[in-house]
Structure 1
Amino acid sequence: MARTKSNVLVGAPNVKVGGGFFIGDVIDDEEKFPTDATTELDKSFNAAPGGYMSEDGLVKTTDRSTEKIKDWNGDIILVVTSDHSVTLKFTCMESANAAVLKMIYGEDNVTINGESVKIVETSDDLPHISLDFLMLGGQGKAVRAFSPDTQVTSVGDVSFVRAGVISYEVEAEVFDVFGDGRKLWQLMDPVKAADDGDGENGGAEGNE
């Protein structure tokens, strides 16, 4: 079988669009979901750029537990999925980004007044959000990972040091928004000319 280099892709952020990822509302209308890897999210998501992420990028972990069903003779006749989960891990580097802060502390616990930020850390359940990651895969391809219903479940230790930026290592659970098992949408398409190449991060915008 021939090897095809155009099928070998990377996961570089598309920094020309919000730094590479967006945080938005949960929308359970599939007609408003992205249908390709390059089109902007529907305005109903109220998506805001998440800005800079660390060089570790986006890590997707899929856990699947199965149960083997045996007959009277001890032969395996069926394998069924007993548990399935998808988690996303990434590190946000914009510690004053309103969308990021509301994602990890909760909408009611973050107050933005001009350039001033007030955060109250509480035991409240964290909000459900949508996450949209836009990447350039090389070989003329764009790559997208879209989760319509996501919730941050843990945030790593936050260090306040002179030699490093304040950052948030996030782990988020991806939910089945329709109740039919579908959780994460991944799309690959030819990249648009306007999205090709490097650009400046737009993550500082939309932080009102």
Structure 2
Amino acid sequence: MTQNKNLVSAFRPQTAGAISYAPLGTKVPTNAVDELDTKFVKLGYISEDGMTKSYDFDSDTEKAWGGDVINNIFNGKTSTFEFKLVELLNSEVNKAVFGGKNVTGDLENGLVVKDTNTEPESFAWVVDMIGKNGVLVRIVIPSASITDMDDTTYATSESAGYDITITPQANAEGVTNITYIQKPKTVAAENAPVASTGGETHNV
């Protein structure tokens, strides 16, 4: 395969927001173009750093007498996703971070967010991005919970937010997350093919 600069891409979030979450067990998409299940809720703006997918490999290297590497023993791999949710006044953002049972009310009548010491709730997550030439990239994480969270700074010089790391749980096949990449669906041609009936033509 020859080099192709059109296959090199940076990524931006979809207009309505890149990261969505839903209750565990919600039907997840199986491609990059279908609409999400209505249970998914978008979490608004993410900080300009975007999202980072990290890998932690657990492996041991065996060496022979003399120092030659003779075997690499693979013990497992963990994938994590880190991003900063900056819509701190958004009730859904707070529910995703602190759990639905710990967030009540609304901005109009008063939003109450309880920070407890309970185990973080697991959710289904979807990340929707747009690459070069409008190619759609979607990462589907059927089950993940928050496993780390950086400090939240309240100041006049920067936007406060929740910088979280989520860690997916593997399914029965050992899959933790799936990335779908696809060109967007094209709009149907304005004029459909025509068929001749006598001396006239009609759209079909």
Pairwise same-fold verdict (TM > 0.5): yes
How far apart are the structure 2 equivalents of 1:113 and 1:2? Answer: 55
Of residues 99, 109, 118 in structure 2, which corresponds to 1:106?
Answer: 99
Q: Does residue 114 of structure 2 align to residue 120 of structure 1? A: yes
Equivalent residue, structure 2, for 1:96? 89
Q: Does residue 145 of structure 2 align to residue 145 of structure 1? A: no
Percent sequence identity is 26
Mapped contact 2:22–2:123 kept (Cα < 8 A): yes
Range moving further from structure 2, 180-189 or 75-84: 75-84
- The structure with more strand, counted as a fraction of residues: 2
The Cα shift of 1:79 comes to: 3.8
Count of matched residue positions in the alignment of Structure 1 and Structure 2: 186
| TM-aligned CA distance change 1:78 to 1:2, over 3 Å | same
How far apart are the structure 2 equivalents of 1:101 and 1:14? Answer: 21
Q: Does residue 5 of structure 2 align to residue 5 of structure 1? A: yes
The within-5 A match list for 1:31-42 is 32-42=27-37
The within-5 A match list for 1:151-166 is 151-166=145-160
| TM-aligned CA distance change 1:49 to 1:140, over 3 Å | closer
TM-score by length of 2: 0.81
How far apart are the structure 2 equivalents of 1:144 and 1:193? Answer: 18
Letter in structure 2 aligned against 1:141: V
| TM-aligned CA distance change 1:2 to 1:187, over 3 Å | same
For structure 2, the 5+ residue unaligned runs are 188-204
- Give the CA RMSD over aligned residues: 2.5
How far apart are the structure 2 equivalents of 1:110 and 1:57? Answer: 26
Could you give the per-residue CA deviations for residues 25-53 of structure 1, whole angstroms, max 9, x where no partner exists? Answer: 2228xxx432221212234xx11111000
- State which structure, 1 or 2, has the greater radius of gyration over its C-alpha atoms: 2
Could you give the per-residue CA deviations for residues 109-154 of structure 1, whole angstroms, max 9, x where no partner exists? Answer: 1112463210111101110011111000012311111111010112
Letter in structure 1 aligned against 2:101: D
Q: Does residue 133 of structure 2 align to residue 135 of structure 1? A: no
Please identify runs of 4+ aligned residues in structure 1 that moved more than 4 A.
68-71, 74-78
How far apart are the structure 1 equivalents of 2:63 and 2:23? Answer: 44
Mapped contact 1:143–1:188 kept (Cα < 8 A): yes
The Cα shift of 1:20 comes to: 1.4
Equivalent residue, structure 1, for 2:18? 20
The Cα shift of 1:193 comes to: 5.6
How far apart are the structure 1 equivalents of 2:134 and 2:159? Answer: 33
Letter in structure 2 aligned against 1:156: D
**Greater relative CO, 1 or 2 (CA 8 Å, sep 6+):** 1
| TM-aligned CA distance change 1:181 to 1:104, over 3 Å | same
How far apart are the structure 2 equivalents of 1:141 and 1:169? Answer: 27
TM-score by length of 1: 0.79
Could you give the per-residue CA deviations for residues 73-112 of structure 1, whole angstroms, max 9, x where no partner exists? Answer: x987754421211100000011122222112112221112
Q: Does residue 168 of structure 2 align to residue 174 of structure 1? A: yes
For structure 1, the 5+ residue unaligned runs are 195-208
